Amino acid sequence: MILNTPPPQPAAPPHIQFHHQGLQKIPVSFQGLQKASGFHGSLQKSLGSCLGVQKPPISNQGFQNDSILNQGFQKVSVLNQGHELLLKKQNQQKSFLQQKQLTVAGGGGIQQEPPPQTGGGQPLPPPVHHQNQLICDQLFAAAELMLSGNFSHAQQILARLNHQFSSAPTAPNKPFQRTAFYFKEALLSQMASDSNSSNRIINPTFNGMFKIGAYKMLSEVSPIIQFMNFTSNQTLLEAVGDAKNIHIIDFDIGFGAQWASFIQELPTKNNNNGGGCSLKITAFASPSTHHPIELGLMHENLSQFAQETGISFQLEVVNFDSFDPRSFSVSGQDAIAVNFPIWSASTHLSAIPSILHFIKQLSPRIVVSLDRGCERTDLPFPQYLLQGLQYYEVLLDSIDGANVVPEVSNKIEKFLFQPQIERMVMGKLQFPERMPHWRSLFTAGGFSPVNTSAEAQADCIVKRMQIQGFHIEKRQAALVLCWQNRELMTVSAWKC
């Protein structure tokens, strides 16, 4: 669908519908919705504070969900130490299991040596690292059983885990415990919906107020959002900021906060002599993650930013779940740039090579990619799950490092991190096959990494937060935000 400036009258925010048959344009209805003033005000405050000649249709035959042939893909070194840590963890698991004679039987539970006792005959609690290891072992075993179709035994293992999580986690609990709880819940959710494949789509209930509130909280207690948005924008502006007509292809528009700051920066970068430039954003979004009301209000706010800066603005929303590249075309007069965070394809893993092929045919000036170190497409599901567990433990620890109150941590985790974990688990279960690492897919697809000059800006963002433990690293051509020497977010730029 196409959304154009000028924005609609405030009395009636737009109602956006996802189109499921390719990219045929449909008119947007502006009647029938009453404005939710509280949510709209929250959105405006959140966004404000954060911040033709037609080419012939592309001939690619759609995003195919076929298994990927590994011919011609070369292994590449991974920027983080996740895989080595994983191998080390697996060796520790084997050693620990042998020493303790621990077995996880399909329906028999866990058997181990009698625990040591205090002088009064009371059993000593196991050390924390042993408890964490047992949880990892059980999550790993449940994942293997789910892959083999043995859901009943997997459910028994997860039920035993429920006894170790007496209630939903709260911020005083350690990051590992809270993270493990969310992954356990994600596995249980997938088993509950397995009997009806149509229910595997995450329920797109409208809780936009809470999500935007959590997003704003996260931006205030962690540099991760500002690092993503501003370093990406700096790279994009360097590539297309001087163009008369700019077209951004965005696979993860979120709440649109990134593009509000991008619009505000355009006048300082755009040096054309013909007046204001035009900006078009094509946002690939799934109905399972983006409610039409959220998209309508996002368009309203971005249109307002564009109007205030004298920029012609257009927003097009494309249903990612049913996208057909053959029906997509771009203007030959547009300077094209692509924003492609790897996690945006977490529920379309098998389509990543086709997405990259589609992007290359657009001939973009730049492709900005972001990854969290847990987008390990080269790992089987159980190891993939442990890699995600390791990442989110570090992420939650970084939030705790800001000394936030439990209420803030709980909201950030409930409305931002837990849905991410659910999509991560669901996507890998839908396509558990191993494929080359995503960087290998980029290289094999004809993309080459290029340097970004946003390092100074990234350092400034981290220093402004005044939270000890965050720092920026330059790894080859990529910028990495780290917490206690552990990778949180990587921004890289690519050209084809």
pLDDT at 268: 73
Q: Do 306 and 250 share a domain, yes or no?
A: yes
* 58: in domain: no
Q: How far apart are CA 415 and CA 212, in angstroms?
A: 9
How big, in percent rounded to 5, are the helix, strand and coil portions of the chain? Answer: 50, 15, 40
Give the model's pLDDT for residue 278: 93
pLDDT for 404 beyond 50: yes
- For the chain, the farthest-separated pair of C-alpha atoms sits apart, in whole angstroms, at 86
> Which residues does residue 478 pair with via DSSP β-bridges, in sequence order?
475
Is 395 among the domain residues? Answer: yes
Residue 49 in this model has a pLDDT that exceeds 70: no
Which tokens go with 404?
A: 């936030």
Report the C-alpha gap between 496 and 142 in whole angstroms.
Answer: 41
Whether residues 374 and 466 share a domain: the answer is yes
Residues 6+ apart with CB under 8 A from 236: 248, 262, 337, 339, 366, 368
Same domain? 326 vs 243: yes
Pairwise CA distance, residues 408 & 213, whole Å? 10
pLDDT at 126: 55
Query: Measured between alpha carbons, how far is 379 from 134 in angstroms, rounded to an integer?
Result: 21
Distance CA 222, CA 467 (A): 8
Name the burial class of residue 67, with classes exposed (0-12), middle (13-18) and buried (19+) by CB atoms within 10 angstroms of its CB.
Answer: exposed
Residue 27 DSSP code: P
- Pairwise CA distance, residues 260 & 255, whole Å: 10
CB 129: neighbour CB atoms within 10 A? 11
7/143 same-domain check: no
Position with higher pLDDT, 268 vs 491: 491
Burial of 73 (C-beta count, 10 Å sphere; 0-12/13-18/19+)? middle
How far apart CA 310 and CA 276 sit, in angstroms, is 6
At residue 162, the pLDDT reads 84
Same domain, 328 and 418: no
3-state secondary structure 246-296: EEEEECCCCCCHHHHHHHHHHHHHCCCCCCCCEEEEEEEECCCCCCHHHHH
* pLDDT digits 0-9 by tens, 169-210: 655 689 999 999 999 999 999 988 765 554 444 445 567 789
How much is the mean pLDDT over the chain?
78
Instruction: List the structure tokens of 213.
Output: 């509130």
Q: What percent of the chain is modeled with pLDDT above 90?
A: 54
Count of beta carbons in the 10 Å neighbourhood of residue 427: 18
Is 59 among the domain residues? no
Interval 288-325: pLDDT, tens = 888 888 888 899 999 999 999 899 999 999 999 888 88
pLDDT for 26:
33
Domain boundary among the residues 430, 448, 464 is at 430
CB contact at 8 A, 24 and 235: no
Q: Check: CB of residue 142 under 8 Å from CB of residue 380.
A: no
Same domain? For 460 and 347 the reply is: yes
453 shares a domain with 349: yes
Distance of CA 428 to the CA centre of its chain: 14
Q: What is the pLDDT of residue 172?
A: 60
**416 and 278 co-located in one domain:** no
Ramachandran sector of residue 22 (left: φ over 0; alpha: ψ -120 to 50; beta: rest): left
Identify the DSSP state of 320. Answer: G
State the Cα torsion 475-490-279-34 to the nearest 10°: -170
What are the structure tokens assigned to 464, written together?
A: 């402004």
**Structure confidence at residue 1 as a pLDDT band (50, 70, 90):** low
Residue type at position 112: Q
Contacts of 424 (CB under 8 A, 6+ apart): 186, 343, 346, 374, 388
Domain shared by 244 and 315, yes or no: yes
What is the per-residue pLDDT for 447?
Answer: 97
Q: Which residue has the higher pLDDT, 444 or 162?
A: 444
The pLDDT tens digits for 457-472 are 899 999 999 899 999 9
- Which of 10-14, 210-214, 269-273 is predicted with the least confidence, judged by mean pLDDT? 10-14
**Domain endpoint, select from 398, 414, 430:** 430
Q: What is the pLDDT of residue 289?
A: 83
Domain boundary pick from 430, 447, 467: 430
End-to-end, the C-alpha distance of the chain in Å comes to: 28
- Does 264 fall in a domain? yes
Residue 297 falls inside a structural domain: yes
Neighbours of 78 (CB within 10 A): 15
State the Cα–Cα distance between residues 123 and 117, nearest whole angstrom.
Answer: 4
Per-residue pLDDT at 432 exceeds 80: yes
Segment 372-390 mean pLDDT: 95
pLDDT of residue 18: 47
Q: Does residue 61 lie in a domain region?
A: no
**3-state SS assignment for residue 461:** helix
Tokens of 416: 């931002």
Q: Are residues 359 and 416 in the same domain?
A: no
Q: How far apart are CA 269 and CA 475, in angstroms?
A: 27
Q: What is the pLDDT of residues 74-99, one digit of tens each?
A: 333 333 444 444 444 445 444 444 44
199 or 156, which is more confident: 156
CATH number at residue 274: 3.40.50.150
Residues 368 and 446 in one domain: yes
Q: Do 496 and 364 contact (CB within 8 A), yes or no?
A: yes
- Residue 325: what pLDDT? 81
Residue 77 burial class via C-beta count within 10 angstroms: exposed 0-12, middle 13-18, buried 19 and up: exposed
Calculate what percentage of the chain has a pLDDT beyond 70: 69
Structural domain includes residue 78: no
Supply the range of the domain harboring residue 283: 2-19+35-49+204-378+435-495
**Rounded to an integer, what is the distance from CA 61 to the centroid of its chain?**
26
Both 194 and 305 in a single domain? Answer: no
Q: Please say if the pLDDT value at position 277 is more than 50.
A: yes
pLDDT value for 64: 45
**Scanning the structure block, which residue is given the tokens 């405050």?**
45
Domain count, the chain: 2
What φ, ψ does residue 357 adopt, rounded to 5°? -65, -40
Between 263 and 7, the higher pLDDT residue = 263
Amino acid at 291: H
Q: What is the pLDDT of residues 16-47, one digit of tens each?
A: 444 443 333 333 333 333 333 333 344 344 43
Say what the pLDDT of residue 15 is. 44
